[in-house]
Amino acid sequence: MPLTEDDWSDPNNPKLTPYARSKTIAERAAWDFMREHGATDRLAVVNPGAILGPVLSDDRSYSIEMVERLLQGMPGVPRIGFNIVDVRDVADLQFRAMTAPEASGERFTAAESFQWMEEVAEVLRERLGEAATKVPTRTVPNLVVRAMALFDPGIRSIVGQLGRRTEISSEKAKTLLGWSPRPIQATIADCAQSLIDKGVVKRPAQ
Task: Give the N- to C-terminal CA distance of the chain in Å, as an integer.
Answer: 47
Segments in the chain forming alpha helices (H): 18-36, 62-72, 87-99, 117-128, 142-149, 153-156, 171-177, 184-197
- The whole-number pLDDT of residue 157 equals 67
Interatomic CA distance for residues 105 and 103, integer angstroms: 6
Instruction: Quote the pTM value.
Output: 0.88
**Residue 128, SS3 per DSSP:** helix
Strand ranges across the sheet with 81-86: 50-52, 81-86, 113-116
Domain-by-domain residue ranges, the chain?
46-197
Range with the poorest average pLDDT among 34-38, 54-58, 109-113, 120-124: 54-58
Residue 104 phi, psi (nearest 5)? -55, 125
Pick the CATH number of 46-197 from 3.30.70.20, 3.30.360.10, 3.40.50.720, 1.10.3720.10: 3.40.50.720
Query: What tens digit of pLDDT does each residue of 118-145 get?
Result: 999 999 999 999 888 999 998 888 787 7
| pLDDT for position 112 | 95
Residues in the chain, total:
206
Identity at 127, one-letter amino acid code? R
Distance CA 161, CA 4 (A): 19
Which residues on neighbouring strands pair with residue 77, listed in sequence order? 139
pLDDT tens readout for residues 184-197: 999 999 999 999 98
| Interstrand relation of 139-140 and 77-78 (parallel, antiparallel or unpaired) | parallel
